[in-house]
Structure 1
Amino acid sequence: MSEYGTPPPPPGPEGGSYGQMPQMDPSHAPAAAPVTRPPAMDQAVLLMKVGAGLSLLGLLLSLFMRDAIRQAVEKSNNGSLTASQVDTAVTVGTATGIVFGLVGVGLWLWMASANGKGKSWARIVATVFFAISVLGLLSTLVQAGPLLSKLINVVSVLLGAYIIVLLYKKESSEFYQASSAPRA
């Protein structure tokens, strides 16, 4: 008997007390079922990689279209710039195209990876990037510049619009939910 008048618990099979909680070996814990990415998400991820390719194409165009950029600069300033200033504007335009092209490729690939893994924040970020690309397209369309470059921008924005639709489909929303649910 204990000092409080209650008998001690009977010993267990190994001489321990039945009142103890069994310890679970973490290596025997049930594994969470992997979340399967739905077809809409597979298509969105693939199209994001296509978007990266379009950004790369835009980058290459900025390298090969220096003459078209020069003509656009000369046409837009009505002869008020010197030849040196035109050269500087063409160089700045080309460098800007390269930088934005590289950033665009990186962002498309980053969004493809994060959305493909079901990161719910990535869908929001992709939506914000899409809104920014629409604003960028509007500013590109009102400026002088090579037609092919404008066409690539239009195609990229249309591609982005379709991707956003895919990201917000019911099956995609369920995928984001399942991917962000705590694992047992």
Structure 2
Amino acid sequence: MSYQPPGSYPVASMPPVYGMPPQGRPPIPQAALRSYYAILAGAALSAVSIVIGLTSMGSIRSQLRDQLAPKGFGEDTINTFINVEIALIVVFGIIGVLLWLWMAWKIKSGRHWARVLSSVFFGLECFSVLIGGVNYRSSVTSGDETTNASVHQSAAVTILGWVIVLVGLYALVMFWHKSNAAFFRPAQAYAPAGYPYPYPPQGGYPQAQYPQGYPQPQYPQAQYPQVPDQGGAAPQEGAPQQPNDPWSTPPQ
């Protein structure tokens, strides 16, 4: 008896392999890559601005001496002002550089929230340059008296601040370019519903789905050959059983 295989049936869709989403994030577009390099350039310029700010301490000292000496303040008060200025330049400068690098990392990773947060940081940078681009005020307390002083920034610091703003504007335009929409899509969009990557699916894998109206596959029952009766007397109780397989007995 020969077995006739049934007709062709549709191939059932296999569930995705556990831990592996069916599709990954697309390669980084050129616009997003340009914004990444522009943000790195902004971080480098911010580091340069720290150095320029520290080298202009002599000019700041002269401005403070001219404003505080007529008020009767000595060299100790002026040195206190200088220490405050150095601390502000170093601390806020390092924080700015780290923020630039952090945003570059997340932009290259395709994080949508990084574009929003970078836009907020850009607005703060513009506000800082507009408010403190020419003058800023510093205060120090000596005893019971608080003294304010206005410090004029050097031309190099002001120009560099506007260059950083232009670099940030270029990065802003690049990472909001419409060609980046698929790259900055949230990570949940790359995994099918019910598969919270990297965790296993809840409730097991889905059943195979077949086209509507297509008959469900019916597989034939297994057919086994009939074993011929060997005849003879029934075996006595306790006697070893002989095999019923005709192929296990050699021909006589």
TM-score by length of 1: 0.77
For structure 1, the residue ranges without an aligned partner over 5 or more in a row are: 1-21
Q: What does residue 161 of structure 1 align with?
A: 169
Confirm or deny: 8 A CA contact 1:51 1:108 kept in the other structure. Answer: yes
Over the matched positions of the two proteins, sequence identity in percent amounts to 26
Structure 2 stretches lacking a partner, 5+ long: 1-12, 136-151, 193-252
Are the structure 2 counterparts of residues 180 and 129 from structure 1 closer, same or farther at C-alpha, using a change threshold of 3 Å?
Answer: farther
Matching residue within 79, 82, 93 for 2:74: 82
SS at match of 1:44: helix
TM-aligned CA distance change 1:151 to 1:30, over 3 Å: closer
Aligned to 1:47: 38
Q: Does 1:111 align with 2:111?
A: no
Instruction: Spell out structure 1 runs of 4+ moving beyond 4 A.
Output: 22-25, 27-31, 75-78
Deviations 1:122-148 (A, max 9, x none): 111001000111110011124011221
Aligned in 2, Cα 1:53/1:34: closer, same or farther, shift over 3 Å? same
Q: Deviations over 1:89-135 (max 9, x none)?
A: 11111111011111011000000011111111111100100011111
CA separation of 1:65/1:29 partners in 2, compared to 1, >3 Å: closer, same or farther?
A: closer
- What's 2:50 paired with? 59
The root-mean-square deviation of aligned C-alpha atoms, in Å, is 2.7
**Distance change (3 Å), C-alpha of 1:115 and 1:72:** farther
Alignment partner, residue 114 of structure 2? 122
Number of aligned pairs?
164
Per the normalisation by structure 2, the TM-score is 0.58
Answer whether contact 2:43 2:101 (CA < 8 A) is retained. Answer: yes
User: Which structure is higher in helix share?
Assistant: 1
Structure-2 separation of matches of 1:31 and 1:68: 62
Q: 1:124 to 1:39 in 2, by over 3 A?
A: same
User: Residue 167 of structure 1 contacts residue 173 of structure 1 at CA under 8 Å; is this kept in 2?
Assistant: no
SS at match of 2:61: helix
Match of 2:184, SS? helix
Change in CA separation of 1:111 and 1:76 when aligned onto 2, cut-off 3 Å: farther
| Distance change >3 Å, CA 25–CA 127, structure 1 → 2 | closer
The 3-state SS of whatever aligns with 2:120 is helix
- 1:100 equivalent in alignment to 2:113: no
Q: Is the 8 A contact 1:72 1:146 kept in 2?
A: no
What is the Cα deviation at residue 84 of structure 1?
1.8
Compute the displacement of 1:174 (Å).
3.4
Report the Cα offset of residue 46 of structure 1.
0.5
